[in-house]
Amino acid sequence: MSQIPKKIMIADDDPGIVDAVEMLLEFEGYSVTTTVDGSTVLDMKDELPDLLLLDIWMSGEDGRDICRQLKATPATKNIPVIMVSASRDIEQSAIDAGADDFLAKPFEMDELLAKIEKLTR
Amino acid sequence: MENNIYPDAESENVFKTIIEQSPSPVGLYVGRDIVITLANDAILKVWDKDKSIIGKTFRQALPELEGQPFFDLLDKVFATGIAYEAYAERVDLLIGGQMQTFYFNFIYKPLKNAKGEVWGILNTAEDVTELVLTRKKLAEAEERSRFALDSAELGAWDMDPENERVTWDERCNQLHGFTEGQVTVYSDVLKHIHPDDLQNIKQKVQKALTPGGDANYDETFRIICPSSTRVRWLRSKGKAYFNGQGHCVRFAGTTQDITAEIRDKEEQRKLITLVDHTSDFISLSDLDGNVSYVNTAGRKMMGIDDDADLPHNSEFIMPGEKNKLKNEINKALQTTGKWSGEVLYRNFKTGEAIPVMGTSMLIDDPTGKPQGRATIARDLRTELVNKQALVDSEHLLQNITSASPTALWMADDNGMITYANKTWTDWTGQPTKDLLGTGWLHCILPEDRARAAEKFLMDLKAQKPYEVDFRIRRKRGEIRWCIATGHPQYNHEGKFMGYIGACTDVTEKTITDIELQLKNGELNDQIRQFEFVTDFMPVQLWTAKTSGELDYVNKQTINFFGLPMEAVIGEKWIDNVHPDDRPGCIAAWTAALQSGTLYQYEFRLCDKNGEYKWHLARALPFINDGEIVRWFGTNTDIDEQKQMQRQKDDFLGIASHELKTPVTSIKAYAQVLGAMLSNEGEEKKAQMVMKMDAQLNRLTNLIGDLLDVTKINSGRILFNKVWFDFNKAVEECVQDLQHTTNKHILVMDFKETGKVYSDKERIGQVMTNLISNAVKYSPHSNRIIISTEREGNMVTVCVEDFGIGIPEDKKDKVFEQFYRVSGSKQHTFPGLGLGLYISNEIIRREGGKMWVNSIEGKGSTFCFSLPVAETK
């Protein structure tokens, strides 16, 4: 395992989730950046994360549109994306938008960690 | 002496030699004694003599000729010097000792010297015996044929086709109506032949004469004699003879008069035709009653087929008539030779008795002796029927006139009644003498009287058919409606003579009409009231035929659609249903029509503004005499309810979604906290945090249930189907749930199920629901049995508990939304009452079904079955 912590970006419009997950991931040894504004995700330039945890319904932004744009941009297309939603039914549309994996809220933390571990290895 | 005879010795020699050499018999007799001086071999042969006779006298040489004329003839020739010539003269000669007859042409020629004195006779002869005999035979044959022709009254004819020359006998002349010499050629023959037969005869003769045919000719034809107008029938038979080159050389035959024959035949034919075409029965029999003939009408009447044998005459009558035949008919025939009377015949086929008027008579032969009997019988059935019909119709007429409610009347050209039948008097009690003239008007009610009289006078003036209605007062004071009609009558000169008419009591009909009118009025009133009510009602009312077509809608319905009635009723009603709802609606309506049971369906109807509004349609069949005559239905506006329902579902959907977000963060915090506490060795605190997490899972499940209900209600539940091992999936569920309970043992009783195509997660959800219910509702037992099996295309799972069970009347309710077990203790069980509802809906939507068997207090068995794969 590398000594340099993996960088995880969390994009969710709910500050509670952002805070709790950030705390969990940092506790697990990840380096975490967060945003509650979906539109800022596409602004990232200098420090690209090793993985993006992307909520689908973010007040005014559709996570799937963001995901499609990221996957269409050469610089960001290799960043693994895990999409998160309260609705289990839209899993397929998330995968179709280019997401590498999907989690339904509320999720077990162990499940989240396993997926991150798998995609950042 | 000899030398003296011949004046010239040389010429004598020459002469002698000629005679000797002649092939014809020649003899020279010299002197008064007729001495045979020369006789050549030919004559010697005739005589059957040799040369020894030379030098003898004729008499000496041929003594056998004595008695025949030759000696005298020779003497006479010598004496007179006149030659004797004979043709085919008979000569009897002794040949070989026998007298034989020959015929000769011969000449006795006197030979004279220069002085003219006869010195000898030269006899030359020619044997014509054969010729003569042949001629004789011919003559005899001709004689015979003539005799034959005569006896057969045949005329013989002969024609040479070369020159059409005709040779025929006298009889032919007679037969053809000619006198002798009138017919010499063929064209003469044709002169008296009937014009109708002429063409045929010409053709047939031509045919017989044509080479290569059968050469026979046999024709019957008519002759019109110029001497009389009588037509004579002739039959001519003949044959054409052809020579080797195929030329017709002769056409000969006979002709016979067959007029009598033809006449007889014709007469017979006419007679038989007559007999056969008479409509009466005619039969002939012998004296013993053996029937030999029955005519066509007779056969038909008696049912005897044309080719059938004729029975004995005693069988022609009904068995009961046999005594009559024996005692009456036969006796009358014996004594008077004739009988007439009625008797019953019997049809051979049907056995029907046929009354006939019969006449039987004896028939005498030419000598006056009876030889048979003839019977003529007339079928009396028609007459009897007609007679009966006449009697019947007379009766009928009487009955009609006396029983009918019709008075008959006559009026003269002034409109005065001159006759009325008894009916008018029966009705009104007015005697005939009073009603005549204008008296009848008194019986008419005063209100109608003037009108009736006026109309009558008007029609009378116009001489047109008359019709008027009025009321009369009957003799008991009763008032009746009548219609009087009259037809103008004219005499043979076309002059108007008055009326013949009838007056009919129409009271019954009038009353019925009035009642009907009243009834219709009442009905119409009722219908109007009904319409008012239905139109007033805020529900859409409709009726439909048994075929399913709407045939009535109330005003409310028309107003809702904003369409004319035609666009709503009939087959078009379905056009107003939302396209998405049509298939289900049609299916439900069809099912109801077929089963005759309640129809109920929710659909959206397009209102006049083009907006779809939810309606609940319900209809029941109206049954009359066990048959559905019509469907009565309503459409209730449930759009508002539906909106509320949707708002509720939307709210639950949003609420549960919103609830999930804080739960997610709480879970995250709890798990981080639990991990931290574990790291710090605070195991007890960490346990508490983990329990918190378990409670969060329960909360998550409840939220999930709410979300599922909203999905189900809005039809938005989705299934993610895959093939999976059914038993294995069930087993995973059971094992997961076994961890949550310490009290119950979950017993697995699996049979082979194989793989199924379904939503594994949802099936797991259902299993979890059933097993956790079983745990929850069997607090006092410790065993739950989970069994699976496969039957055909269906897999079935049952979860059996031994808990509190479900009352019989509640069994169907457990699958309803928000149903919770009620009872003294049941309310103490937790839950939203959504689990079974969701499970049932999931199974139903996956094409399966769910059911429960339960005995209250003993336990419940919840089962569901699923198709292995979608059957569609």
Angstroms from A24 CA to nearest CA on chain B: 5
pLDDT band at B713, cuts 50/70/90? confident
Q: How far apart are the first and last CA of chain B?
A: 165
Distances (CA, A) of B597 to A16, B205, B539, B588, B696: 57, 98, 21, 11, 49
For residues B181 and B838, which has the higher predicted lDDT (pLDDT)?
A: B838
pLDDT digits (tens, 9 = 90+) for A42-62: 877 667 889 999 988 777 778
Q: Is B125 helix (H, G, I), strand (E, B) or coil?
A: strand
In order, the DSSP letters of B625-652 are TTEEEEEEEEEEE-HHHHHHHHHHHHHH
Q: With 70 as the cut, is the pLDDT of residue B299 above it? A: yes
How confident is the model at residue B405, as a pLDDT? 62
Cβ–Cβ of A23/B696 closer than 8 Å?
Answer: no
Q: With 50 as the cut, is the pLDDT of residue B620 above it? A: yes
Q: Which of these ranges, B144-148, B540-544, B545-549, B553-557, has the smallest mean pLDDT?
A: B144-148
**Chain A residues with CB inside 8 Å of B663's CB?**
105-106
- Calculate mean pLDDT across residues B783-806: 91
pLDDT digits (tens, 9 = 90+) for B19-61: 777 788 888 888 888 899 888 888 888 888 888 888 899 888 8
pLDDT digits (tens, 9 = 90+) for B115-158: 888 888 988 888 888 888 888 887 777 777 766 666 667 888 88
Residue B363: CB atoms within 10 Å: 14
- pTM here is 0.38
User: What is the helix, strand, coil percentage profile of chain B, to 5?
Assistant: 45, 30, 25
How confident is the model at residue B495, as a pLDDT? 86
- Where are the strands (E) in B609-750, listed by range? 612-624, 627-637, 722-725, 745-750
- Where are the strands (E) in B380-433, listed by range? 406-411, 417-420
Q: With 60 as the cut, is the pLDDT of residue B7 above it? A: no
Cβ–Cβ of A20/B718 closer than 8 Å?
Answer: no
Give how far the C-alpha of residue A63 lies from the chain's centroid of Cα atoms, to the nearest Å.
10
Residue B578: CB atoms within 10 Å: 14
How confident is the model at residue B233, as a pLDDT? 86
Q: With 80 as the cut, is the pLDDT of residue B227 above it? A: no
- Number of DSSP helices (H) and strands (E) in chain B, helices first: 25, 32
Pick the residue of B654, B669, B702 with the most A CBs within 10 A to test the interface with A by mutation. B669
Nearest chain B residue (CA) to A15? B665
Q: Tokens 């005995």: give the residue.
A: B855
Q: With 50 as the cut, is the pLDDT of residue B163 above it? A: yes
Parallel, antiparallel or unpaired: strands A81-85 and A51-55: parallel
CA distance A77 to A73: 6
pLDDT band at B396, cuts 50/70/90? low
Q: Tokens 């026979």: give the residue.
A: B216
| Residue in B189, B185, B151 with CA at minimum distance from that of residue B172 | B189
**Chain A residues with CB inside 8 Å of B671's CB?**
24, 108-110
**Chain A residues with CB inside 8 Å of B667's CB?**
20, 106-109
Of A87, A92, A109, the CB nearest to B668: A109
Q: Which portions of chain A are predicted below pLDDT 50?
A: 1
Q: What is the mean pLDDT of chain B?
A: 83
Q: Please list the residues that pair with A8 across neighbouring strands.
A: A32, A51
pLDDT band at B492, cuts 50/70/90? confident
Please name the amino acid found at residue B31.
Answer: G
Residue B766: CB atoms within 10 Å: 27
Structure tokens at B749: 């009783």
Q: With 50 as the cut, is the pLDDT of residue B664 above it? A: yes
| Residue in B303, B294, B311 with CA at minimum distance from that of residue B375 | B294
**Chain B residues with CB inside 8 Å of A92's CB?**
720
| Residue in B840, B810, B834, B812 with CA at minimum distance from that of residue B822 | B810
CA distance B255 to B169: 10
CA distance A48 to B784: 55
Q: Is B427 helix (H, G, I), strand (E, B) or coil?
A: helix
Polymer length of chain B: 872
Nearest chain B residue (CA) to A107? B664
CA distance B501 to B409: 5
> Chain A: which residues have CB within 8 Å of chain B?
14, 16-17, 19-21, 23-24, 27, 86-87, 89, 92, 105-110
CA distance B166 to B188: 9
- Contact status, residue B443 vs residue B430, Cβ threshold 8 Å: yes
pLDDT band at B2, cuts 50/70/90? very low
For residues B393-408, one letter each, b for 16 or more C-beta atoms within 10 angstroms of the residue's C-beta and e for the rest, the string is eeeeeeeeeeeeebbb
